[in-house]
């Protein structure tokens, strides 16, 4: 009975001390809980804290997302303020006592042990709280926080300036990017433009499409057809993703300014873990299908419009005839070389070979043996 009276008096002392602390801008907690006890054990939790309330200075976030010493310095000051303000760091202590609830006088012994623990720990807490609230101690804390926040205030203009410079740079970068895209498309050098600019520039004949590759060498861009796929994730939630269909659209702008496009139907895209085609493909892969040529031979080829001239060994069973003058191989594509020998697909010369067209830029092939490859698909409007 005496212990219960002592507990009640202590509770009143703690409450009075905490009220006075609140008036001095000190936030406090002291709490005893008995929610984890089991039949064989009394398990008591005690949580406490004493913290000086600080009106935190809110500073702008780092817009660049990169490491910046200004923000590192500001964060370090913020952590110091927190350390100064925590007079008693938050604690969550647990105590266990082997007092069986079902034994003789078990409940009474538990209550007595709980009261004794409360008196012991609350007395320690009360001493810390009274000491923390001494005017001299609070003055020291306030002065340290004021000094630290003065440093924070000095940093604020620098943080805003850094963000302003970053945004100005992004705007300048955006303008430069737009100018570069505009110039690239105006000059027909679309491979120098970014994917966003090319997204709607060409018109692939697909409801959903995705740009996967561009090539300056072949003056071409490859779009692939996409299909929407629904699937369940590991948690049973429905998700959606885009998958390839093996269909593509190879298009570009020739050196004469002519825009062209061919559909391709056998890109042989890789598959993911769920056997869905990936969003993949290369210009060379599409070129190989359109010209019916091995992809490995393309490195030995030069292109003029719908024709490819590939340097390769002429088979021994192919008969060539001597040709004098210009050889018109297809719609104004003219081949000229002194000592030119040719048949329908193969030709060779011991001199440089000149190929001209009424609208395409002329090309010159070094002397040697060649095979002609022609586009096997019609242009798509």
Query: What is the C-alpha to C-alpha distance for residues 366 and 3, in angstroms, rounded to an integer?
Result: 108
What own/partner pairs with CB < 8 Å and gap ≥ 24 does 346-353 have? 346/314, 346/315, 346/318, 346/320, 346/370, 346/371, 346/372, 347/320, 347/323, 347/372, 348/314, 348/320
**CA dist 309 → 181, 303, 353 (Å):** 31, 6, 11
Structure tokens at 369: 């043996």
Residues 6+ apart with CB under 8 A from 44: 32, 33, 34, 37, 94, 95, 96, 97, 114, 117
Query: What is the C-alpha to C-alpha distance for residues 183 and 215, in angstroms, rounded to an integer?
Result: 17
pLDDT in tens, 56-105: 999 999 999 889 999 999 999 999 999 999 998 888 999 999 999 999 88
The C-alpha R_g of the chain, in whole angstroms, comes to 41
- Looking at residue 257, the DSSP 8-state letter turns out to be S
Looking at every residue in the chain, the average pLDDT score rounds to: 91
Per-domain boundaries in the chain: 2-157, 195-291, 295-374
pLDDT in tens, 122-175: 999 999 999 999 999 999 999 999 999 999 999 999 999 999 999 999 999 999
Residues 6+ apart with CB under 8 A from 271: 277, 278
pLDDT in tens, 169-215: 999 999 999 999 999 888 889 999 998 889 888 989 998 999 999 99
CB 191 within 8 A of CB 180: no
Q: What is the pTM of this model?
A: 0.61
**pLDDT band at residue 1, thresholds of 50, 70 and 90?**
low
Alpha-carbon 334 to chain mean position: 51
**CA dist 327 → 98, 234, 347 (Å):** 106, 65, 11
Phi, psi of 259 (to 5 degrees): -90, 140
Residues 6+ apart with CB under 8 A from 347: 320, 323, 327, 335, 340, 341, 353, 369, 370, 372
Nearest Cα residue to 210 out of 170, 176, 243, 164: 243
**Continuous H helices in the chain:** 2-23, 69-85, 106-132, 135-186, 195-199, 283-291
**pLDDT band at residue 273, thresholds of 50, 70 and 90?**
confident
pLDDT at position 380, please?
46
Query: What is the C-alpha to C-alpha distance for residues 280 and 284, in angstroms, rounded to an integer?
Result: 12
Nearest Cα residue to 41 out of 106, 93, 92, 105: 106
């Amino acid at each position: 009975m005496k212990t219960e009276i002592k507990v009640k008096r202590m509770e009143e002392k703690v409450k009075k001390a905490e009220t006075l602390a609140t008036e001095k801008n000190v936030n406090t907690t002291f709490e005893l809980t008995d929610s984890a006890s089991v039949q064989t054990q009394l398990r008591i939790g005690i949580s406490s804290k004493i913290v000086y309330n600080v009106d935190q200075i809110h500073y702008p976030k780092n817009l660049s997302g990169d490491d910046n010493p200004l923000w590192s310095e500001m964060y370090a000051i913020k952590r110091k303020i927190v350390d100064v303000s925590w007079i008693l760091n938050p604690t969550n202590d647990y105590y266990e006592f082997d007092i069986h609830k079902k034994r003789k006088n078990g409940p009474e012994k538990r209550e007595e042990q709980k009261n004794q623990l409360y008196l012991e720990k609350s007395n320690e807490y009360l001493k810390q709280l009274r000491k923390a609230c001494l005017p001299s101690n609070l003055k020291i804390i306030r002065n340290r926080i004021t000094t630290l926040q003065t440093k924070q205030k000095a940093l604020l203009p620098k943080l805003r300036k850094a963000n302003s410079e970053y945004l100005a740079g992004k705007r300048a970068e955006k303008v430069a990017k737009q100018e570069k895209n505009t110039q690239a498309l105006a000059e027909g050098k679309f491979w120098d433009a970014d994917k966003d600019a090319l997204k709607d520039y060409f018109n692939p004949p697909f409801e959903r499409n995705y740009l996967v590759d561009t090539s300056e060498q072949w003056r071409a861009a490859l779009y692939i057809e996409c299909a929407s796929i629904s699937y369940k994730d590991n948690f049973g939630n429905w998700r959606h993703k885009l998958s390839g269909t093996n269909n593509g659209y190879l298009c570009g702008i020739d050196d004469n300014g002519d825009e062209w496009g061919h559909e391709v139907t056998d890109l042989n895209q890789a598959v993911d873990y769920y056997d869905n085609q990936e969003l993949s493909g290369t210009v060379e892969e599409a070129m190989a299908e359109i010209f019916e040529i091995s992809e490995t031979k393309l490195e030995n080829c030069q292109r003029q419009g719908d024709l490819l001239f590939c340097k390769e060994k002429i088979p021994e069973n192919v008969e060539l005839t001597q040709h004098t003058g210009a050889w018109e191989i297809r719609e104004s594509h003219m081949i000229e070389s002194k000592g030119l020998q040719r048949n329908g697909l193969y030709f060779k010369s011991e001199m440089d070979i000149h190929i001209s067209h009424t609208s395409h830029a002329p090309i010159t092939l070094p002397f040697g043996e060649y095979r002609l490859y022609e586009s096997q698909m019609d242009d798509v409007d």
